[in-house]
Amino acid sequence: MSYIQEVLKKVEDRNRDEHEFLQAVEEVFYSLEPVIEKHPEYKETSVLERIAEPERQIIFRVPWVDDNGVVHVNRGFRVQFNGAIGPYKGGLRFHPSVYVGIIKFLGFEQIFKNSLTGLPIGGGKGGSDFNPKKKSDGEIRRFCESFMTELYRHIGPDVDVPAGDIGVGSREIGYLYGQYRRIRGAFKNGVITGKGLKYGGSLARKEATGYGLLYFVEEMLKANNNSIKGKVIAISGSGNVAIYACEKATELGAKVVAMSDSAGYIYHADGINLDTVKRLKEVERKRIKEYVKEHQGSKYHEGNVWEGKFKYDIALPCSTQNDIDMERAKNIIENGAIAVGEGANMPTSNDAIKFFLKKEILLAPAKAANAGGVATSALEMVQNSMRYSWSFEEVNNKLKDIMINIHKSACEASKEYGLGYNLVAGANIAGFKKVAEAMITQGIY
Ligand SMILES: NC(=O)C1=CN([C@@H]2O[C@H](COP(=O)(O)OP(=O)(O)OC[C@H]3O[C@@H](n4cnc5c(N)ncnc54)[C@H](OP(=O)(O)O)[C@@H]3O)[C@@H](O)[C@H]2O)C=CC1
Ligand SMILES: O=C(O)CCC(=O)C(=O)O
């Protein structure tokens, strides 16, 4: 058994039923084999064992009252995974599938992603098994207030800075921050990011994950003598990341022909009308199937978009984890894709990642490709500290530079370890090394 396999076995024994977490750890650790060989100090100081164990996990009760006066109880989580390079940073997910294994996989990914941004932010994540679908605005507000009534004591601008993720958008962030401010009696808006522009939010944060994904994919294509211009693109999801990925892709000269939600997907050969999607999803909170009522020639299909049979050059999974398994990966290649850009966290299963790499599909891994959101959150923290705001253009330019640098770091790390152009391994290695070195320098924690 190799050293990596030994460590993985220990992680498995300790986290038996947390499949998503084990998948994330395995994906990172196997890329680190050549790094551990070259750096015996990582093994001597048990960095791998330490990095796979959260510094702190908080699990709490979230009681709330629905519109009929009935009391419900959900479970809240915050995993403060690794603070070696900065305050814990990562979003909150409200979705019925949330349990500790989901939050730990997301928090673990966040360690390496945040390191890749080059900014001083550690890894954390949180959320709840609360289902925001079909809840009234009052119910959402009461849930958020109850959630923050416990969470507030564990966070702070220099401690842990949450943000949004699935099911947590600007409305929820507003309620969460309002309750934090009420309890603390202070305007500490650096405690949460993704805020509204009127109380300390950053311009371009809403767009950042989707835009950043496209900046990264463009770099990847450029490095392979290609470009986004003229490409046909399919996207899974129709939430925050998907919408702004679609917007930037269109701006860069591509045509997006498909988008989805958890029930099905729309296909529109002429190109998706994003104004309609934005209204349906951001304002009216309706299902994606409503789109076809307004656009002749578009079609709605139930099921997963990656099982659909239609032509595209680039696949952008922007919905949730394990969206692309082996069968769907085969279908994506049969549909003609030459590149995959991961907007969601861990959207591709480990065997499908290996398959894409074997088939020489250009693969932009989530840790690198979707890091624009958290990077812009870190820029929001900078602006809050300065009590100042940058223009949209300033933030967007910084975001673009960050994405270009992440691509460069992943490329260089991959080359340094003799792996050619492998952004999956390169991102893992580059993200890991910075955190590992900070951990070693700070002693045994
Ligand atoms: N927001 C951000 O800044 C960042 C987000 N991410 C990641 O991007 C992904 C999308 O996040 P975001 O856009 O913010 O979330 P949203 O809640 O805004 O949108 C999520 C989208 O994914 C769909 N979806 C959710 N769960 C499932 C499921 N189990 N099966 C199929 N479709 C599903 C939703 O459909 P429906 O409405 O039907 O549920 C919706 O269209 C997540 O993986 C998140 O972790 C990564 C980096 C930053
Ligand atoms: O902006 C943030 O802090 C959170 C982003 C996030 O949750 C992610 O990168 O997955």
333 lies in which domain range? 206-369
pLDDT digits (tens, 9 = 90+) for 344-360: 999 999 999 999 999 99
The CB of 261 under 6 Å from ligand 1? The reply is: yes
Q: Quick one: which of 375, 383, 378 has its CA closest to 399? A: 375
pLDDT in the model for residue 260: 98
pLDDT in the model for residue 234: 99
pLDDT digits (tens, 9 = 90+) for 142-186: 999 999 999 999 999 999 999 999 999 999 999 999 999 999 999
Q: Are residues 120 and 224 in the same domain?
A: no
Q: What is the ipTM of this complex?
A: 0.99
Q: Are residues 155 and 227 in the same domain?
A: no
pLDDT in the model for residue 239: 98
62 belongs to a structural domain: yes
List Cα–Cα distances, 418 to 48, 414, 421, in angstroms: 22, 6, 9
Q: Are residues 221 and 312 in the same domain?
A: yes
Q: Are residues 149 and 260 in the same domain?
A: no
Percent of the chain whose pLDDT exceeds 70: 100
pLDDT in the model for residue 26: 98
Cβ(166)–Cβ(239) under 8 Å?
yes
Q: Are residues 268 and 156 in the same domain?
A: no
Positions of the chain with pLDDT lower than 50, given as ranges: none
235 belongs to a structural domain: yes
Among 318, 336, 369, the domain-final residue is 369
Q: Is 110 annotated as a binding residue?
A: yes
Q: Are residues 84 and 177 in the same domain?
A: yes
393 belongs to a structural domain: no
Among 157, 188, 219, the domain-final residue is 188
Q: Is 264 annotated as a binding residue?
A: no
CATH number where 99 lies: 3.40.50.10860
Closest-lying ligand 1 atom to the alpha carbon of residue 345? 43
What is the residue whose two structure tokens read 């984890």?
321
The tally of domains found in the chain comes to 2
156 belongs to a structural domain: yes
CATH number where 260 lies: 3.40.50.720
Q: Are residues 73 and 111 in the same domain?
A: yes
429 belongs to a structural domain: no
pLDDT in the model for residue 268: 98
The set of catalytic residues is: 125
pTM recorded for the entire structure: 0.98
97 belongs to a structural domain: yes
404 belongs to a structural domain: no
Q: Is 114 annotated as a binding residue?
A: no
Joined tokens for residue 434: 């910075």
Q: How far apart are CA 50 and CA 4, in angstroms?
A: 13
Q: Which residues line ligand 2 (CB under 6 A)?
A: 89-91, 113, 163, 165, 193, 345, 373-374, 377
Percent of the chain whose pLDDT exceeds 90: 100
Q: Are residues 177 and 232 in the same domain?
A: no
Q: CB within 8 A of 325, min separation 6: which ones?
A: 349, 351, 352
394 belongs to a structural domain: no
